[in-house]
Structure 1
């Protein structure tokens, strides 16, 4: 009889889990709404918890009659998700006061380190649409999910739609700033023996500029496609070089190559081409490639392990052949590219640092 009861409880829990994951999109949309309304910034600017009426009065509404009931229902869910706190205030009204948590502080536009642009990018309908094509990707293969959804690959789409391109670039910039702060604080000694550093796929050069600022002895080179570096601002100690990382001999010679969130965009065969070209650009005995990317732990219980697995599905949605990789997958790929030795350095962030050596 007890076994039947346990089975019934397990079955009921299974049903509850399906409901939870089926409707998980509501969490994302609620999060998006408070970022769009800048509710974390409103609370932060006052310096203390606020009532719904106080929050609503500070929102830049096109309509003079905000729907406070709707707002209360969104906030109720996000309190349950620990994005905000709530407690009853004193006095006769006893209205509920809403405050910030460590989570909502990452949604502040005005903070140096923020994920607000990433929230707006990843919840944008254009970037979410490819996820409706996962089953077609399984059945058909062929073009990536983004191309199935929009008729062209993401790079071409962005070149034709400047607003979504700006939204995406803002998201990449905010995550880059977060990751670089962690790298410079925790990657102890990683750049000490480097006199010349090339950031492959460095965009407009913000990452290598931060490294050079922290290590002024380094001669930094920002390497990306010519049209990308053409718009790059000037940074002290950094030069911009245009080229294609897939072209042999295109990557400038250096003591070390830096690649942050580049390889996960590409298939194994493409990554091997890129890494081969990197290997030829560094000294055989003393050179190294510094890779900043996710190292998947599919069964791990670390703080970011679950997010890493979700990011792997983003690669299906937004890239052609890109993926997040486990350590064994990294090892195999690095060996095929001529890097028999590597070292994984864990940092308090979603990605890890992988040092790869040609000998």
Structure 2
């Protein structure tokens, strides 16, 4: 019995060590993305050594090969990259895996690198050090750390605004494919569609491209719209969704409502209700639907995202279906259906009656 208890205790100790250093995995991978290592391996067309990686890094001086070797050893051990160890003791070779292919720039619509850089930006990461203070006092960790939520910081910091918008645009890019595949007929009858808080317009532009009969409106705050490129069939409109939303047959809210408290979401939804037709209008919410049992492929990420919202927003959170139902009803949408897609988010189609 003692040996069993001793083994369990040892495993418990190892588990705590693992969690103690879990941040290193994220920041080592951030380093690899910033150095464009996934792109370098991809451009070579196959596994390469740390020396070959170093020779391809854009740097004013010679990169530290020993640092690259140690970073790649860790990321290879974590199966982010595929590590091959030659039997003759030569340099290990590192190739892409199904995970690191999501970090290759512009390879296709599978791209999470810019999103990763947003979530591991100092604004986001440093805020977590204030979490215990928030538990005791309430409030938002990012506000305690930097004096504002991430939307405020983006409006004041042009570099972060660029990183944030690029991240959201890439998130929209790969998610768009799943939306268009999983919601094929949901856009058929629409003549107009507003992407509420649509960023720089990546999602609405792809929808209009696939459904050219739709008049697309990309709606966001002025500092976001000023960076938005021109798209055929899309009109950029600046404004504030807490005041008024442009009228359309349907409104799209992708990863928007999870940023806000229940009270704020109800206000947004009521404004959405005013902007669509009484009988035929609808709201298309694309957001996480937490599962109580937590056994799904993306459930770990969903629960983690819930804490990201707690730390980096003023009242934002991920929600279960029951929480979504209550929110939609209070916002004027008593009828809804959830459409599963192969992504972290689901589609929630909500109707005013």
TM range (shorter): over 0.9
State the distance in 2 between where 1:213 and 1:259 align. Answer: 19
In 2: Cα distance, 1:186 partner to 1:80 partner: 35
Shift of 1:350: 1.0
Match of 1:322 in 2: 316
Residue in 1 aligned with 2:46?
48
Alignment check: 8 A CA contact 1:56 1:68 kept = yes
| CA distance in structure 1 between the aligned counterparts of 2:39 and 2:295, rounded to whole angstroms | 32
Bigger mean CA offset, 30-39 vs 132-141: 30-39
Say if 2:118 and 2:163, in contact at 8 Å, map to a contact too: yes
Number of the residue aligned with 2:198: 202
SS of the aligned residue for 1:203 comes to: coil
Instruction: Please report the TM-score for the alignment, with normalisation by the length of structure 1.
Output: 0.92
Per-residue CA deviations over 1:282-335 (Å, capped at 9, x if unaligned) read 223222110001111253222211011111111122211111111111011111
The answer for the alignment partner of 2:248 in structure 1 is 254
Match of 1:264 in 2: 258
Q: Which residue in the other structure is 2:116 paired with?
A: 119
Alpha carbons 1:298, 1:305 under 8 Å: kept: no
TM-score (ref. length: structure 2)? 0.93
Q: Does 1:85 align with 2:85?
A: no
**What is the CA-CA distance between 1:212 and the residue it aligns to?**
0.8
- 1:61-140 counterparts in 2 under 5 A? 61-64=59-62, 66-89=63-86, 94-112=90-108, 113-140=110-137
Map of 2:9 onto structure 1: 11
Deviation at 1:166, TM superposition (A): 1.3
CA distance in 1, matches of 2:329, 2:175: 26
Q: Is residue 154 of structure 1 aligned with residue 146 of structure 2?
A: no
Structure 1 segments of 4+ aligned residues over 6 angstroms from their partners: none
Structure 1: runs of 5+ lacking an equivalent? none
Aligned CA-pair RMSD: 1.9
Contact 1:208 1:238 (C-alpha < 8 Å) held by counterparts: yes
Task: Give 5+ residue unaligned stretches, structure 2.
Answer: none
Q: Distance in 2 between matches of 1:94 and 1:235?
A: 51
Of the structure 1 ranges 149-158 and 308-317, higher mean CA displacement relative to structure 2 is found in 149-158
Moved more, 171-180 or 220-229: 220-229
User: When the two structures are aligned, how many residues end up with a matched partner?
Assistant: 352
Per the alignment, do residues 70 and 171 of structure 1 end up closer, same or farther by CA in structure 2, a change over 3 Å counting?
same
- Equivalent position SS for 2:314: coil
Q: CA deviation at 1:236?
A: 2.0
